[in-house]
Amino acid sequence: MVTLERILDRKNIEKALLQVARNKGAAGVDGMLTEELQKYLNSNWRVLKMELLEGKYCPKAVREVEIPKPNGGTRMLGIPTVIDRMLQQAISQVMIPVYEEQFSACSYGFRPKRNAHQAVLQAQCLLKGGREWVVELDLEKFFDKVNHDRLMSRLSLTIKDKPTLSLIRKFLTSGILKDGVETVRTAGTPQGSPLSPLLSNIVLDELDKEIEKRGHAFIRYADDCSIYLKSERAAKRTASSITRYIEDKLLLKVNKEKTKVSYGEQSTLLGYSFEKSPTQSWMIQIPWTSINRVKRKCKALTKRSNGKSEKRVLENLKVLIEGWINYFQLATANTRALGNLDGYVRVRLRMHQWKAWKRAPARIKGLLRLGASKRDAYEHGHSSKSYCRIAKSWVLTKTMTNKVIKKRGYLGFVDSFYLKKKAQMSMF
């Protein structure tokens, strides 16, 4: 049951506050920082709560910031005030358990206990099961094009509490501030609001139900929807049919460039691609686009102009590559691409006349092998801890002692700071 009382409950608000505080995000239009939210609430929470219960509270405008997208174009972020971020977080926390019960099992994005790896492994299963033709759909400017009236009416099917619905609508219609000029929002949910991901899933839950009704196998991750079919003809037919459904019924726009019908080997999903091997059926692969993306990051880290020490650059590279490999662990095909990345990193290091290029930091091929072992262990239900330990001893060579001492000192400070915060919290 979603009610304003439960949303504004002390325990729920404390949790929401903690989340906003630890994100350490930038300020909204009012300039209030995340560190200042606690002491603001200590003096103003009671009046704020009264305003909310009386339906008198009006959310501030979101601050619009443009950021570049990885493959060209710009993304318009809408950054709410820290107070509004906390309130939306509080709403989200109450709504999530209710909606988790009704969401589709094939939806993987923005949902607790679900991740991209599960989606990619499921895609591999579908391909292995003979559904080798893929419809890939992506929506154009998805969050920005969400229809308010459709969303509100869908919310009212589950949420019966009028004050909550009214508050959510106020958040949807709050203004947009850019270069000192405030404009009105008539559609869309801000990219950057804590509630937006959940709302977007509520919108596309309708699509999930429609695809399920038609009996198709599919995987959805946010606005990325892949449908797996057994023939090209069926794939082409459902592509146009589902596109029509999305545009006419859901009033959203399908991205024509990112949408395609292809054989499994040409399909991509969540950074991965797939390859059909004669011996092992469908294998998971890393496409060149993903390799090139991490290469660019490596290049940025090893630029001549940034005046960082060799030690520091190597540490940063290690962290980047380790984290990257950790995500792309599922890949077992096309290991040449990984060797290529390894070679690229060594060239960048040699450019600086650094001797490390022979030894570490990459060991990418070794890491891939370990990643594959880890994946096998996971699939067969065994513990993967031993593999992790092996990877650790192989990869961590130096830079450890220095870093650990620094972190220790810092952590001690943070811990005491956190305890102080918890003590302050009981004030309001």
Ligand X SMILES: Nc1ncnc2c1ncn2[C@H]1C[C@H](O)[C@@H](COP(=O)(O)OP(=O)(O)OP(=O)(O)O)O1
Partner DNA sequence: TTTACAGCGAC
Residue 290 binds which entry of DNA, ligand X, RNA, none, with Cβ cut-offs from 5 to 8 Å by kind? DNA
Report the length, in residues, of the chain.
Answer: 428
Place of tokens 């509270």: 57
- Give the x-and-dash track for 114-143 against RNA (CB under 7 A): xx-x--------------------------
Question: What are the backbone dihedrals phi and psi of residue 178, each rounded to the nearest 5 degrees, phi first?
Answer: -135, 125
Decide whether 48 or 377 has the Cβ nearer to RNA: 377
Place of tokens 């990619």: 120
**Burial group, residue 269, by CB count within 10 angstroms (0-12, 13-18, 19+):** buried
Residue 262 binds which entry of RNA, ligand X, DNA, none, with Cβ cut-offs from 5 to 8 Å by kind? none
Counting DSSP H helices and E strands in the chain, the numbers are 15, 11
- Give the x-and-dash track for 323-362 against RNA (CB under 7 A): x--xx-----------------------------------
Residue 252 is a binding residue for ligand X (CB under 6 A): no
Contact stretch for DNA (CB under 7 A) within 48-56, 89-97, 221-229, 381-389: 221-229
Alpha helices in 302-351 (DSSP H): 310-327, 335-351
Q: Which of 133, 324, 387, 428 binds DNA (CB under 7 A)?
A: 324
Q: Which of 138, 144, 265, 322 binds Mg ion (CB under 5 A)?
A: 138
Contact stretch for ligand X (CB under 6 A) within 32-40, 134-142, 295-303, 394-402: 134-142
Residue 146 binds which entry of Mg ion, RNA, DNA, none, with Cβ cut-offs from 5 to 8 Å by kind? none
Q: Which of 1, 5, 10, 22 binds DNA (CB under 7 A)?
A: 22
203: nearest Cα among 228, 220, 218, 181:
220
Could you tell me what percentage of the chain is helix, strand and coil, using 3-state DSSP and rounding each to the nearest 5?
Answer: 55, 15, 30
At a CB cut-off of 8 Å and minimum separation 6, what does 185 contact?
Answer: 172, 173, 174, 175, 176
At a CB cut-off of 8 Å and minimum separation 6, what does 294 contact?
Answer: 320, 321, 324, 341
Residue 300 is a binding residue for DNA (CB under 7 A): no
Count of C-beta atoms within a 10 Å radius of residue 186: 9
Residue 320 is a binding residue for DNA (CB under 7 A): yes
Residues 109, 201 contacting (CB under 8 angstroms): yes
Residues 57, 48 contacting (CB under 8 angstroms): yes
Q: Which of 11, 56, 113, 213 binds RNA (CB under 7 A)?
A: 113
Estimate to the nearest angstrom the gap between the alpha carbon of 107 and the chain centroid.
13
Residue 208 is a binding residue for Mg ion (CB under 5 A): no
Going by DSSP bridges, is the β-strand pair 62-68/176-178 parallel, antiparallel, or unpaired? parallel
Residue 255 is a binding residue for ligand X (CB under 6 A): yes
Can you list the positions of beta strands (E) in 145-204? 176-178, 181-183
Residue 25 is a binding residue for DNA (CB under 7 A): no
Residue 212 is a binding residue for Mg ion (CB under 5 A): no
CB of 385 to RNA, least distance (A): 8
CB of 16 to Mg ion, least distance (A): 28
Going by DSSP bridges, is the β-strand pair 74-79/181-183 parallel, antiparallel, or unpaired? unpaired
Decide whether 187 or 320 has the Cβ nearer to RNA: 320
Contact stretch for ligand X (CB under 6 A) within 133-141, 292-300, 318-326, 340-348: 133-141
Residue type, 178: K
Residue 107 is a binding residue for ligand X (CB under 6 A): no
Estimate to the nearest angstrom the gap between the alpha carbon of 83 and the chain centroid.
22
Contact stretch for ligand X (CB under 6 A) within 117-125, 128-136, 140-148, 392-400: 140-148
Residues making contact with RNA (CB under 7 A) = 19-20, 23, 25-27, 63, 65, 67-68, 77, 79-80, 85, 89, 92, 96, 110-115, 117, 191-194, 196-198, 322-323, 326-327, 388, 392, 404, 407-408, 411, 415
Residues making contact with ligand X (CB under 6 A) = 73, 138-143, 191-192, 222-223, 255
